A and B are shown apart, each in its own frame.
Chain A
Amino acid sequence: MREYFAGIWAARYFWMHLAMADLRARWRRSFFGVLWSMLQPLGTALLLAIVLARLLKQDIRSYAPYVISGMIVWDFVMAVSTGGALSFVQADAYIKHFRHPLAIYSLRTVIANLTVLGLASVPMFVWAAIAQPGNLGVTWLGALSIYPVLLLIFWPLITLLAYAGSRFRDLPNVMQLALQALWFVSPVYFGTKMFRDAKLDALVDYNPIFHLLQLVRAPLLEGKWPSAANFEFCAGMAILFTILAWLVGRKAERRVIFYL
């Protein structure tokens, strides 16, 4: 295992370059370029917030950051899970040419998407600071934990998906469907109170998406630290996926090249 991670470290310029190349491709020849990653979620979230705040009788000032946080984290989950399942397939030319640990290709997907998330979260922080300045404080450091936490959860998860995705190319479609289902039962746009009022507490308390979102929402919307339960749930996922990825990878790692 140590050797495997040493290989990832040795190839650091390689995968950092690939992640940067993905981002360059994303913003290539566009006038606003990088700005789009901030404007696009901000615009969509504002439109949504205006409509939903009316429908659900919420105060738009606090509800907008709720929607933005839900949307950008969800966009990340969606992009990284569907695209990530093809991490190895897309890197086939590299895999057939260089002998690097395969986890660098899933890492590349996660890093590129985390960068996009980082940019998209700038308007969220700004909005929250302006709309509810009372919540601004040290607890906001807790909100920043979302980035490393997402990395620790999604890197092994995407590696796992990519092993499977190289063999079963239907996986991105399956993931899309599964995520759609998860979206409906998660407090992404709808407040947790709605779930609890409907006696659907389990959908909140045992929902990984809820715990992930709380890392950002507790500090920004309530001025509180994320709860221990939030962190425990996230740590549990990271550990579970790492073990699974390791178990699958032991057998699958070397054989992936045959399926590309």
Chain B
Amino acid sequence: MNGAASISRISLSNVNLHYPSVAYATRSLLSMLGRAVGKGSRTPRLKDIHALKNITTEIKKGERVALLGHNGAGKSTFLKVVAGLYPISSGQLEVKGQIRSLFDISLGFEPDATGRANILYRGLLLGCSPRFVREREAEIVAFADLGEFIDYPLSTYSAGMQVRLAFAISTFIGGDVLLLDEVIGAGDASFMVKARARISELIQQSEILVLASHDLQTVSSFCERGLVFHHGELAFDGPTARAIAAYRRLTGLSNG
């Protein structure tokens, strides 16, 4: 996984992913009774969702790739498949390099614990040793810039303060393959500037970036290649500017 000699690489060939309908179709006694008593079924039968259709692509070391597409087009599913979370139904998937995914930055926060304690907890969740987190603690505290609140329980924080802390903790450690899902955009204006700087730092340290975002400005400033998804299919793969144009065409946005 973290062999220094291995070169980061993501490769998919004819990858399909189905979400099985048994997983979300309700199978309770109540619903069965309802179906038996009610005349005919008003609720349509749910089918397997074909979330990724025959995706073939390759991302090499050094590439910064944006995922574009309407809601439900398959961007997040693609990220989660690359992260190894979802088992693919068919096709081949190969991912080399240590993956760092930022999908939910405030996962694992404990509201009753202090900000400082949460730094440790979150660091442990990311797989760091307690010693390593303590060494980096001052740096995280400085970045979050919460003043004395860092020693107060999280439940006393405003929403914006929580986001700042979450962002500071989640981004202090990078990886070879960086997977981001709409995380850029945290806190007030002054923090935004810092956050953007931190993200670009992370991106520079990483060997591969895959970023799912609706913010076209962010996309064009960070990425040179874009994958456009449309109803689970890979509709376009090429330079960012042309990918954005393709995305606009597909979603019916004017070139404004």
Contact = CB atoms under 8 A, between A and B. Distances in A.
Interface in A13-55: 13-14, 16-17, 21, 24-25, 28-29
Interface stretch (B60-68, B83-91, B209-217): B83-91
A29 B155 CA distance: 14
14 contacts: A13-B127, A14-B124, A17-B124, A21-B110, A28-B112, A93-B108, A95-B85, A97-B107, A99-B99, A255-B20, A255-B87, A257-B87, A258-B23, A259-B23
Of B84, B101, B103, B124, most buried by chain A (CB within 10 Å of CB) is B124
Interface residues of B, number: 25
A10 interface: yes
B112 to A, nearest CB: 6
B111 to A, nearest CB: 10
Of B19, B84, B112, B127, most buried by chain A (CB within 10 Å of CB) is B127
A96 B23 CA distance: 15
- Determine chain B's interface SS by DSSP, over half rule: loop
B128 interface: yes
B87 A21 contact: no
Interface string B2-41: 0000000000000000011001000000000000000000
Interface string A75-99: 0000000000000000001111111
Contact of B112 (A29, A93, A98): A29
A13 B129 contact: yes
Contacts of B127: 10-11, 13-14
A254 interface: yes
Contacts of B110: 21, 24-25
B83 A99 contact: yes
Contacts of A10: 127
Nearest to A253: B87
A258 B99 CA distance: 21
